Structure 1
Amino acid sequence: MHKPFAVLAVAAVLSSTCAFAADLPASEAPIAAAPVVEDTGRIFDEARFGVLTSVDSSDLNGEDGAFVTGMLLFDPWSHMEAAGWDRLLRPRIHVGGTIATEGEANQVYAGFSWTANVTDRFFLELGFGGTLHDGDLDIDDGGNGPKLGCRALFHEYVAAGFNVTDRWSVIAHLEHSSHANLCDGPNNGLSRGGVMVGYKF
């Protein structure tokens, strides 16, 4: 006797529930999370260190001993991510120094560097800038090393490197410093070459 009443009651409850649900506002679409930008806090892009020796054995230009050298490279314009001709406009910045082991000219230098990746492992590099040194300026200075004319010189280098891993590389390095006859005095120049090891941060 109560069965029809129970069926009607259940139907009424279901009907009211559906109507209530229809009146609810549509749920908003989930908001996509903002991409996380990794802040590496990196200042230096790469560090290099190595040993050079004089590559000019003439009486006027030859230097004795070895030269301990180090270089830091910065990449403020994303040179390593650029492609094609755009890479020429976005060089890395380098600063470095060379210490003589037998009393020859010590140097500090800075400039711009351009790197060309020939393959995933092999690369070529060119650098150009300026240097300050403490070597002999004129013949009257009495030393046996090159006579350099003035304290400030142009400094350029070429390099060929091999990436051993994603971070470590071995680099053949050849550099030259002179004033291109833009100041008075001799212009024997400094020509050095050797091997450097690089570490990318």
Structure 2
Amino acid sequence: MAVDAISCGRFWKYVITAIVTIGSVFIAEESAAAADAQMAPNTKIFDELRFGASGSIQTGHDHEAGVFPEVEVLFNPFGYNPTDGWKDQLLRPRIHLGTSIGTSDSAATQVFTGLSWTLTHSNGIFTEVGFGGTVHTGNLDDWTERGPMLGCRLLFHEYAGVGYNFDKHWSLMAQVAHSSHANLCDGPNAGMTRAGLLVGYKF
């Protein structure tokens, strides 16, 4: 009788433990699903399209003539939400991919990509910085050519901008962008510095 009682007690102990374990797993899965469902509306792969133009703000031999048409796409795989607090906005950068097209012999065409951090303020103004890399078609080290001597085909690319959101779709941003190799490869490092305006459409 005592042995049967002990065995019965252990049996029910195992049953209760199994029920609690299964219930815990079920609750955890439901919580994760709810979190994913809550996050899903803010997670958009194709988030924003920008287009505009810029011009060189360098002087002398390093100046690039002409206007640079620009097109940029921002992707949002990390769930950036402009209505979140500033800490959450900084923790969820977007990915940018774009091009700046040279329209003269001394101007380089760039294709760039990297991460963008955007802080949206309550009055509609936003500030943004980006960092990544670029590949370009410019002059590397030939002093007889026009335009800046850039040393390397692959460069760092960073920018800073300030803009205004007219509504939930349209915005305008002024930015300054710079590309150089930070003296990490052989050759000259004049760099490219351009300033311009971009119109954005957020999907």
The reply to whether TM is greater than 0.5 is: yes
User: How far is the alpha carbon of 1:83 from its aligned partner?
Assistant: 2.6
Q: Aligned partners of 1:128, 1:119: CA distance in 2, in Å?
A: 25
Q: In the alignment, what sits opposite 2:117? A: 114
Q: In the alignment, what sits opposite 1:98? A: 100
Q: In the alignment, what sits opposite 2:131? A: 128
Q: Aligned partners of 2:141, 2:122: CA distance in 1, in Å?
A: 45
Q: In the alignment, what sits opposite 1:85? A: 87
- Name the amino acid aligned to 1:122: I
User: How far is the alpha carbon of 1:145 from its aligned partner?
Assistant: 0.1
Q: In the alignment, what sits opposite 2:153? A: 151
Q: In the alignment, what sits opposite 1:64? A: 65
Residue 44 and residue 139 in structure 1: after superposition, are their counterparts in 2 closer, same or farther (change >3 A)? same
- Runs of 4+ more than 6 Å apart: 35-41
User: How far is the alpha carbon of 1:101 from its aligned partner?
Assistant: 1.2
Residue 55 and residue 120 in structure 1: after superposition, are their counterparts in 2 closer, same or farther (change >3 A)? same
Q: In the alignment, what sits opposite 1:45? A: 47
Q: Aligned partners of 1:111, 1:39: CA distance in 2, in Å?
A: 23
Residue 166 and residue 100 in structure 1: after superposition, are their counterparts in 2 closer, same or farther (change >3 A)? same
Q: Aligned partners of 1:90, 1:173: CA distance in 2, in Å?
A: 21
User: How far is the alpha carbon of 1:135 from its aligned partner?
Assistant: 0.2
Q: In the alignment, what sits opposite 1:175? A: 177
Encode CA deviations 1:118-148: one digit per residue, 9 max, x unaligned. 22410000000000001000034x3110000
**Alignment partner of 1:100: what SS?**
coil
Long gaps (5+) in structure 1? 1-34
Q: Aligned partners of 2:42, 2:185: CA distance in 1, in Å?
A: 44
Q: Aligned partners of 1:112, 1:139: CA distance in 2, in Å?
A: 32
Identity %: 48
**Equivalent runs, 1:16-35 vs 2, <5 Å:** none
Long gaps (5+) in structure 2? 1-33
Q: Aligned partners of 2:165, 2:92: CA distance in 1, in Å?
A: 22
User: How far is the alpha carbon of 1:56 from its aligned partner?
Assistant: 1.1
Root-mean-square deviation (Å):
2.2
**Alignment partner of 1:79: what SS?**
coil
More helix by percentage: 2
**Alignment partner of 1:45: what SS?**
strand
TM-score in terms of structure 1 length: 0.76
Pick aligned residue for 1:192 from 191, 194, 199: 194
- 1:138 aligns to 2:141 (yes or no): yes
User: How far is the alpha carbon of 1:42 from its aligned partner?
Assistant: 5.2
**Alignment partner of 2:46: what SS?**
coil
**Alignment partner of 1:85: what SS?**
helix
- 1:166 aligns to 2:168 (yes or no): yes
User: How far is the alpha carbon of 1:173 from its aligned partner?
Assistant: 1.3
Question: Do 1:180 and 1:187's aligned partners in 2 also have CA atoms closer than 8 Å?
Answer: yes
Question: Do 1:60 and 1:147's aligned partners in 2 also have CA atoms closer than 8 Å?
Answer: no
